Chains A and B, each alone.
Chain A
Amino acid sequence: KAGVTQTPRYLIKTRGQQVTLSCSPISGHRSVSWYQQTPGQGLQFLFEYFSETQRNKGNFPGRFSGRQFSNSRSEMNVSTLELGDSALYLCASSLYGRADTGELFFGEGSRLTVL
Protein backbone atom coordinates (compact mmCIF):
# COMPACT_ATOMS: atom_id res chain seq x y z
CA LYS A 1 0.00 0.00 0.00
CA ALA A 2 1.63 3.26 -1.11
CA GLY A 3 2.18 5.84 1.59
CA VAL A 4 1.46 9.54 1.67
CA THR A 5 3.24 11.36 -1.13
CA GLN A 6 4.15 15.01 -0.92
CA THR A 7 5.59 17.12 -3.69
CA PRO A 8 7.87 18.89 -4.05
CA ARG A 9 10.20 17.70 -1.31
CA TYR A 10 12.28 20.85 -1.33
CA LEU A 11 11.73 24.31 -2.71
CA ILE A 12 13.16 27.79 -2.39
CA LYS A 13 11.11 30.93 -2.86
CA THR A 14 11.61 34.62 -2.26
CA ARG A 15 9.53 36.93 -0.13
CA GLY A 16 6.29 38.00 -1.76
CA GLN A 17 6.01 34.95 -3.98
CA GLN A 18 3.41 32.27 -3.57
CA VAL A 19 3.78 28.51 -3.34
CA THR A 20 1.58 25.48 -3.88
CA LEU A 21 2.30 22.16 -2.19
CA SER A 22 0.67 18.88 -3.09
CA CYS A 23 -0.30 15.83 -1.08
CA SER A 24 -1.58 12.47 -2.31
CA PRO A 25 -3.06 10.49 0.58
CA ILE A 26 -3.06 6.74 1.05
CA SER A 27 -5.49 5.12 -1.34
CA GLY A 28 -8.97 5.05 0.18
CA HIS A 29 -8.26 7.72 2.78
CA ARG A 30 -10.64 10.64 2.63
CA SER A 31 -9.11 12.99 5.17
CA VAL A 32 -6.02 15.11 4.61
CA SER A 33 -4.56 17.36 7.30
CA TRP A 34 -1.72 19.83 6.98
CA TYR A 35 0.79 20.75 9.66
CA GLN A 36 3.61 23.28 9.75
CA GLN A 37 6.82 22.33 11.55
CA THR A 38 9.37 24.96 12.57
CA PRO A 39 12.18 24.86 15.14
CA GLY A 40 10.58 27.66 17.13
CA GLN A 41 6.89 26.71 17.08
CA GLY A 42 7.11 22.97 16.61
CA LEU A 43 4.29 21.14 14.85
CA GLN A 44 1.19 23.23 14.36
CA PHE A 45 -2.09 22.31 12.73
CA LEU A 46 -3.04 24.25 9.60
CA PHE A 47 -6.28 22.71 8.33
CA GLU A 48 -8.07 19.46 7.59
CA TYR A 49 -10.10 18.44 4.59
CA PHE A 50 -12.57 15.59 4.32
CA SER A 51 -14.43 14.77 1.13
CA GLU A 52 -13.45 18.08 -0.43
CA THR A 53 -14.70 20.16 2.54
CA GLN A 54 -12.57 22.02 5.04
CA ARG A 55 -13.70 20.72 8.43
CA ASN A 56 -11.22 22.36 10.72
CA LYS A 57 -8.74 25.21 10.60
CA GLY A 58 -5.85 26.23 12.82
CA ASN A 59 -4.66 29.70 13.80
CA PHE A 60 -2.92 30.77 10.65
CA PRO A 61 -3.48 33.91 8.56
CA GLY A 62 -5.61 33.88 5.45
CA ARG A 63 -2.46 33.68 3.30
CA PHE A 64 -2.55 29.97 4.04
CA SER A 65 -5.25 28.16 2.13
CA GLY A 66 -5.96 24.71 0.87
CA ARG A 67 -8.31 22.56 -1.09
CA GLN A 68 -9.09 18.93 -1.70
CA PHE A 69 -10.04 17.31 -4.95
CA SER A 70 -12.55 14.56 -5.63
CA ASN A 71 -9.76 11.97 -5.67
CA SER A 72 -8.80 13.11 -2.13
CA ARG A 73 -5.54 14.69 -3.27
CA SER A 74 -4.97 17.99 -1.53
CA GLU A 75 -3.05 21.14 -2.17
CA MET A 76 -2.10 23.95 0.13
CA ASN A 77 -1.15 27.40 -0.99
CA VAL A 78 0.75 30.14 0.75
CA SER A 79 0.55 33.58 -0.82
CA THR A 80 2.76 36.61 -0.24
CA LEU A 81 5.48 34.54 1.37
CA GLU A 82 7.29 35.83 4.43
CA LEU A 83 10.62 34.73 5.88
CA GLY A 84 8.77 33.16 8.80
CA ASP A 85 6.96 30.79 6.45
CA SER A 86 10.16 28.80 6.04
CA ALA A 87 9.23 25.42 7.45
CA LEU A 88 8.61 21.77 6.86
CA TYR A 89 5.01 21.33 5.73
CA LEU A 90 3.62 17.93 6.59
CA CYS A 91 0.56 16.29 5.19
CA ALA A 92 -1.27 13.59 7.15
CA SER A 93 -3.72 11.13 5.65
CA SER A 94 -6.42 9.20 7.45
CA LEU A 95 -9.53 7.25 6.65
CA TYR A 96 -11.99 9.37 8.61
CA GLY A 97 -9.81 12.08 10.11
CA ARG A 98 -10.05 10.71 13.63
CA ALA A 99 -6.95 12.24 15.19
CA ASP A 100 -7.71 10.71 18.58
CA THR A 101 -7.28 7.17 17.29
CA GLY A 102 -3.77 7.83 16.12
CA GLU A 103 -4.71 6.89 12.59
CA LEU A 104 -2.88 9.80 11.01
CA PHE A 105 -0.18 8.75 8.56
CA PHE A 106 2.30 11.47 7.72
CA GLY A 107 4.17 12.11 4.50
CA GLU A 108 7.84 13.04 4.38
CA GLY A 109 7.01 16.71 4.07
CA SER A 110 7.82 19.60 1.78
CA ARG A 111 10.63 21.77 3.03
CA LEU A 112 10.09 25.39 2.06
CA THR A 113 12.82 27.98 2.35
CA VAL A 114 11.90 31.62 1.89
CA LEU A 115 14.74 34.01 1.09
Chain B
Amino acid sequence: GQQLNQSPQSMFIQEGEDVSMNCTSSSIFNTWLWYKQDPGEGPVLLIALYKAGELTSNGRLTAQFGITRKDSFLNISASIPSDVGIYFCAGPKTGANNLFFGTGTRLTVIP
Protein backbone atom coordinates (compact mmCIF):
# COMPACT_ATOMS: atom_id res chain seq x y z
CA GLY B 1 0.00 0.00 0.00
CA GLN B 2 0.92 3.63 -0.16
CA GLN B 3 3.18 4.87 2.63
CA LEU B 4 4.00 8.42 3.48
CA ASN B 5 7.18 8.92 5.46
CA GLN B 6 7.80 12.18 7.23
CA SER B 7 11.04 13.54 8.55
CA PRO B 8 12.13 14.50 11.00
CA GLN B 9 9.98 12.54 13.46
CA SER B 10 10.35 15.30 16.04
CA MET B 11 11.92 18.72 16.34
CA PHE B 12 12.83 20.94 19.25
CA ILE B 13 13.44 24.51 18.21
CA GLN B 14 13.79 27.93 19.76
CA GLU B 15 11.03 30.46 19.29
CA GLY B 16 11.78 32.58 16.25
CA GLU B 17 13.60 29.89 14.33
CA ASP B 18 12.50 28.59 10.95
CA VAL B 19 11.34 25.00 10.55
CA SER B 20 11.50 22.63 7.60
CA MET B 21 9.94 19.21 7.31
CA ASN B 22 9.25 16.89 4.45
CA CYS B 23 7.14 14.01 3.33
CA THR B 24 8.01 11.31 0.83
CA SER B 25 5.91 8.66 -0.79
CA SER B 26 6.52 5.43 -2.62
CA SER B 27 3.69 6.37 -4.99
CA ILE B 28 2.65 9.42 -6.94
CA PHE B 29 0.05 11.74 -5.49
CA ASN B 30 -1.95 14.30 -7.43
CA THR B 31 -2.79 16.27 -4.31
CA TRP B 32 -0.76 16.94 -1.21
CA LEU B 33 -2.33 18.20 2.00
CA TRP B 34 -0.70 19.40 5.18
CA TYR B 35 -2.56 19.15 8.48
CA LYS B 36 -1.71 20.21 12.02
CA GLN B 37 -2.98 18.43 15.10
CA ASP B 38 -2.96 20.23 18.43
CA PRO B 39 -2.97 18.16 21.62
CA GLY B 40 -6.44 16.77 22.28
CA GLU B 41 -7.79 17.97 18.95
CA GLY B 42 -8.43 16.60 15.50
CA PRO B 43 -6.23 17.52 12.52
CA VAL B 44 -6.85 20.88 10.88
CA LEU B 45 -5.98 21.59 7.25
CA LEU B 46 -3.14 24.08 6.80
CA ILE B 47 -2.32 24.00 3.11
CA ALA B 48 -3.52 22.12 0.03
CA LEU B 49 -1.34 21.60 -3.07
CA TYR B 50 -2.78 20.48 -6.39
CA LYS B 51 -0.04 20.79 -8.98
CA ALA B 52 3.52 19.46 -9.26
CA GLY B 53 6.00 22.22 -8.53
CA GLU B 54 3.37 24.38 -6.87
CA LEU B 55 4.49 26.60 -4.01
CA THR B 56 1.72 27.82 -1.70
CA SER B 57 1.82 30.04 1.37
CA ASN B 58 -0.53 30.51 4.28
CA GLY B 59 0.82 33.21 6.57
CA ARG B 60 4.14 31.99 7.97
CA LEU B 61 3.66 28.58 6.38
CA THR B 62 4.91 27.66 2.93
CA ALA B 63 4.49 24.27 1.29
CA GLN B 64 5.72 22.87 -1.99
CA PHE B 65 4.47 20.04 -4.17
CA GLY B 66 7.53 18.12 -5.38
CA ILE B 67 8.22 17.86 -9.10
CA THR B 68 8.27 14.08 -8.99
CA ARG B 69 4.85 14.14 -7.26
CA LYS B 70 6.31 11.78 -4.67
CA ASP B 71 7.25 14.37 -2.10
CA SER B 72 6.22 17.59 -0.43
CA PHE B 73 7.82 20.08 1.92
CA LEU B 74 6.49 22.36 4.64
CA ASN B 75 8.33 25.35 6.01
CA ILE B 76 7.35 27.47 9.00
CA SER B 77 9.07 30.79 9.40
CA ALA B 78 9.69 32.63 12.67
CA SER B 79 8.15 29.93 14.85
CA ILE B 80 5.98 30.88 17.83
CA PRO B 81 4.81 28.79 20.81
CA SER B 82 1.40 28.08 19.29
CA ASP B 83 3.11 26.25 16.40
CA VAL B 84 3.54 23.33 18.81
CA GLY B 85 1.76 20.22 17.61
CA ILE B 86 2.02 17.34 15.19
CA TYR B 87 2.21 18.09 11.47
CA PHE B 88 0.91 15.52 9.03
CA CYS B 89 1.15 15.31 5.31
CA ALA B 90 -1.66 13.50 3.56
CA GLY B 91 -2.67 12.42 0.11
CA PRO B 92 -5.87 11.00 -1.29
CA LYS B 93 -6.09 7.38 -2.31
CA THR B 94 -6.41 7.16 -6.07
CA GLY B 95 -9.99 6.65 -7.13
CA ALA B 96 -11.28 6.75 -3.58
CA ASN B 97 -12.33 9.40 -1.16
CA ASN B 98 -10.08 8.75 1.80
CA LEU B 99 -6.67 10.01 2.81
CA PHE B 100 -3.34 8.36 3.48
CA PHE B 101 -1.60 10.18 6.30
CA GLY B 102 2.10 10.52 6.91
CA THR B 103 3.83 9.39 10.07
CA GLY B 104 3.85 12.92 11.47
CA THR B 105 6.44 15.42 12.67
CA ARG B 106 6.09 16.49 16.29
CA LEU B 107 7.17 20.10 16.77
CA THR B 108 8.15 21.59 20.11
CA VAL B 109 8.88 25.31 20.32
CA ILE B 110 10.94 26.48 23.27
CA PRO B 111 10.08 30.04 24.32
Contact = CB atoms under 8 A, between A and B. Distances in A.
A55 B30 CA distance: 21
B93 to A, nearest CB: 8
Contacts of A92: 42
Contacts of A97: 97
Interface residues of B, number: 24
B22 to A, nearest CB: 16
A45 B98 contact: yes
B40 interface: yes
Main secondary structure of the interface of B (DSSP, over half): loop
B33 A43 contact: no
Given A56-B98, A97-B97, A104 B45 contact: yes
Interface size class of A (residues with CB under 8 A): 20 to 34
A35 to B, nearest CB: 8
Interface in A23-50: 31, 33, 35, 42-45, 48
A62 interface: no
A106 B42 contact: yes
Contacts of A59: 1
A104 to B, nearest CB: 7
A87 interface: no
A81 interface: no
Interface in B41-85: 41-45, 48
Contacts of A102: 31, 33, 45, 48
Contacts of B48: 101-102
Interface of B: 1, 30-31, 33, 40-45, 48, 88, 90, 92-93, 96-104
